[in-house]
Amino acid sequence: MKVPVAFVTNSCSRSRDKAAMLERWFDTPVSPEACIHAPTPAKLLTSFHNKHVLVIGQEHRKEIAEEIGFVNTCTVEDVRRAYPFLDMVDHENRRRVSVGNFSDNLNFKPVEAILLIGEPKRWESSLQLLIDLLMTEGKPTKAPESLSQVKQLPIIACNMDLVFMAEACMPRFGHGAFLVCLEALYKKITGKALEYEALIGKPCEITYRFAEHTVAELAKKMGIKRHIKKLYFVGDNPNVDIVGCNLYERFLKDSWINRRNGNRNNSINRTLPRSRSIPSDVALYEQTVTSMESLLVGTGVYNPEKESETTIPEDKVYHGHRDIAHEPELATPTRYVEDVDQGISYILEKEHFTITT
């Protein structure tokens, strides 16, 4: 690599696996630190790293959580074993506990926070146990006397994509669909809206801030001493990649206005939902980027044969997360390019950068 590059994805896997895959594709070394998955920016949420955290996801979920700093985790299976009478949506479990000698494990530590890194396999069981934990402050051995007095556990959710495209002819449910179910059940049962401690992954600003930090770190390792002033983001999904890029461009403008006014902590930044705020007390490289361009490619979600090259029409149904306002204009890229190769050529030409072989 001649310039610092970060690979940002809403998928959830181990960084070393992603780096190895990219190395095979590009036939060039790729550092695991350059691979940013949906949960990766949770490295910044250090106040939760030592808490007893329930991790929801599928393969390698505990290992992924440990990779980003969470050192004291449990899984839904652990909770299910500790409290065998909770999972009654599983009829086999009903029969098993009705004839066996089961009891709650009172030594199981209360769950202090929930990390949702991806959709689980058995949604119904996970939803039941999550609601149980949320209604009992992490210790589901006694029903709450009053739901109004229950303090909701902190929830960190990674990747809000409602659906994704795979081999099927129609989109498949993503992690965002699981979040919709959890939000609806919590609201129906408690009468209160589910609150998130943090939403992480594209299109949230914290992911792009972490990407800027990563690029700065890679640049330093490459011996680049001057500050990075501009970022280019290449993506195939207007409503995720491009919306996120434009949200971060807005955030950058507000941040620099704050700096000029002598407020380096962004305390007067335009109002963001609490779930999308960026912690001010985290160890990040100084924010030096002043602008960001978005390049939309036509080789993935976006199909240029169906859409205009310059304008993304407003969807009739909004698929974004409830904490991200529907602003259709944010799905418009700085520029459309046919593919990543054309995008890279555009960036190099615009930056007057020549690669010598």
Q: Picking from 73-82, 123-132, 183-192, 313-322, which range would have the lowest pLDDT averaged per residue? A: 313-322
Query: Do 7 and 34 meet the contact criterion of CB atoms below 8 Å apart?
Result: yes
What pLDDT score does 353 carry?
Answer: 80
Q: Average pLDDT of 37-58?
A: 96
The Cα 18–Cα 338 span in angstroms is 24
Q: Average pLDDT of 155-166?
A: 91
Q: Which residue has the higher pLDDT, 47 or 100?
A: 47
Question: Would you tell me the crossing angle of helices 243-260 and 205-221 to the nearest 10 degrees?
Answer: 80
Q: Average pLDDT of 214-242?
A: 94
The Cα 180–Cα 178 span in angstroms is 5
Mean pLDDT over the full length of the chain: 90
The Cα 195–Cα 73 span in angstroms is 21
Neighbouring CB atoms inside 10 A of 235's CB total 25
Q: Average pLDDT of 199-217?
A: 96
Question: Could you tell me the pLDDT band of residue 309, with boundaries at 50, 70 and 90?
Answer: very low
What pLDDT score does 310 carry?
Answer: 46
Domains and CATH numbers, the chain: 7-38+201-351 (3.40.50.1000), 43-199 (3.40.50.1000)
Percent of the chain beyond pLDDT 90?
Answer: 69
Query: Do 303 and 313 meet the contact criterion of CB atoms below 8 Å apart?
Result: no
What pLDDT score does 299 carry?
Answer: 86
282: left (phi over 0), alpha (psi -120 to 50) or beta: beta
pLDDT tens-digit series, residues 100-149? 788 899 999 999 999 999 999 999 999 999 999 999 999 999 999 888 88
pLDDT higher than threshold 60 for residue 314: no
Q: What is the pTM of this model?
A: 0.90
